[in-house]
Amino acid sequence: MATYAIGDIQGCLEPLQRLLKKVRFNADKDRLWLAGDMVHRGPDSLGTLRFLYEHRHQVTAVLGNHDLHLLALAHGAKRLTDKEHDLAEVLRAKDADKLLGWLQNQPLMVHKKVAGKYFSMVHAGIPPIWSMSKALELSGEVHHALQDPAMAKAFFYGMYGNEPHLWNDHLIGVERLRSITNYFTRMRFCKADGTLDLITKQGPLAAHHDYQPWFSFEHRKTINDRIIFGHWAALEGEANTENIYALDTGCVWGGYLTAMRLEDEEFFCADCAFT
C-alpha cells in the first residue's frame, strides 16, 4: 500500500492519469491525497471530478480556492464569467449534484498518520500564529458550516474579500469563516503576527515589509509538523524548509503535476504541457 499526495490538478485529468500510471497506482490498495484546486482553468474539470468521485474511497482531499469558487457558483453566490467554460460544464452536468455534494463534503485540512509519521495537508498553508490543534479546530468550523444548508449559503455569499487581513479569536459569523478560509486557501505571504498579503503572488523573492512566506518564520507554531500544501505555483515545488512540502508545480500553466509518496517522501512528476 502506498499513499501519494498530489498538487493542484485544476482539471488536468490526462496528466493526472499519466502520473498515476507512472507510479503504478493500484486503486485496490493505494491512496491519494489531493492538496486542493482539483478543478478550474484546465481542460477537463468535469472529467476530473468524475474520476475523483469514482475513486472517492481512495481519495483524501482538501478544498482549494478554485474548488470553493465552483461551489459558490453552484449556490448562486457568483455568476459565471465568459472564460469559465469548464465550470459551466460541471454545473450543467446530469450528475452535478452528486459531484458537487462530494466536493462540498471535503475539509480545509487533514491530519493523519501514514507509515508511522503524521502529515497535515492544506491547500495554501497554516499561519505562523496557529498551532496544529488550533488549525484543526478552525478548519472544523468551516467544515461544519458547509454541512448546514443555510450556513453554507450564507458562507458562500460572504466568502469573497480580503478582510479581515489579521486573525482575531473574537471574529464571529461569516467574517470569521472568511478569515479562516483565506488563511487555508489563499495565503502566500504574511507577517509573523499573521497579517495577510493576499495580493502578492510571485515567489519568495517578492517578500517585502516584514511579509514573508508563511512557512519561513522561525517561531512558527507548526515548526515541527510535516505540512503538505499546493496553491503557490511560483515556488516551483521548492519551499526549502524542513517538513514543508510544496506540491503545486504549475501543471495548468504548462509545468508539471507532482506527487509525493508519503511513505518514503519520494517525488514523481508528469509533464503537463498542452498543445
3-271 CATH, one of 3.40.366.10, 3.60.21.10, 1.20.1630.10, 3.40.190.10: 3.60.21.10
Cis peptide bond N-terminal to 164, omega within 30: yes
Domain-wise residue ranges, the chain: 3-271
pLDDT the model gives residue 273: 73
Q: Is the pTM of this model over 0.85?
A: yes
57 CB-contact burial (10 Å; exposed 0-12 / middle 13-18 / buried 19+): exposed
What Cα–Cα distance (Å) separates residue 21 from each residue in 15, 148, 157, 166, 237?
10, 38, 40, 43, 21
Alpha-carbon distance of 191 to 214, in angstroms, equals: 8
Number of Cβ within 10 Å of residue 101's Cβ equals 12
Cell triple for 66:
478554485
10-residue mean pLDDT profile of the chain (275 residues): values are 97 97 96 98 97 98 98 97 95 98 98 97 98 98 97 98 97 98 98 98 93 97 98 97 97 96 97 72
pLDDT score for 200: 96
Q: What is the pLDDT of residues 77-113, one digit of tens each?
A: 999 999 999 999 999 999 999 999 999 999 999 999 9
pLDDT for the residue numbered 274: 59
Sequence length of the chain is 275
Structure-block grid coordinates of residue 201 = 503572488
Residue 8 has what pLDDT?
98
